[in-house]
Amino acid sequence: GAVVSQHPSWVICKSGTSVKIECRSLDFQATTMFWYRQFPKQSLMLMATSNEGSKATYEQGVEKDKFLINHASLTLSTLTVTSAHPEDSSFYICRPVGNTEAFFGQGTRLTVV
């Protein structure tokens, strides 16, 4: 079955630094990748949709200059949280678009101190 690898699984960074999260589809090509964010005790909220070879589209209220998304190949999409602040601490999850909704990345727990 389709496998999605998200890295790192957890990261602690200092306020003001940037963090890059990678999401790889290991055995299929994903032209589209969804990025979600989940705050504690809350649901997953769609942040942005990345498309291979083109600019990502962001949901309302998500700063595109803060959350940089790159989808340079059909198997890799990256989310970079720039100048991270404590309020960015959250669980970030990717999901490539395929023929099933079963596969999500393992998620990245980001803690900004």
Partner 1 sequence: AQSVSQHNHHVILSEAASLELGCNYSYGGTVNLFWYVQYPGQHLQLLLKYFSGDPLVKGIKGFEAEFIKSKFSFNLRKPSVQWSDTAEYFCAVRGRQAGTALIFGKGTTLSVSS
The one among 78, 105, 110, 112 contacting partner 1 by CB under 8 A: 105
Asked if 95 touches partner 1 (CB under 8 A), the answer is yes
Binding partner 1 (rule: CB under 8 A), the pick from 34, 58, 67, 92 is 34
R_g over Cα of the chain:
13
Q: List Cβ neighbours of 31 (8 Å cut-off, separation of 6 or more).
A: 51, 52, 74, 97
- Collapsing DSSP to helix, strand or coil, 110 comes out as strand
Q: What does the binding site for partner 1 look like in residue numbers (CB under 8 A)?
A: 32, 34, 36, 41-46, 49, 93, 95, 97, 100-102, 104-107
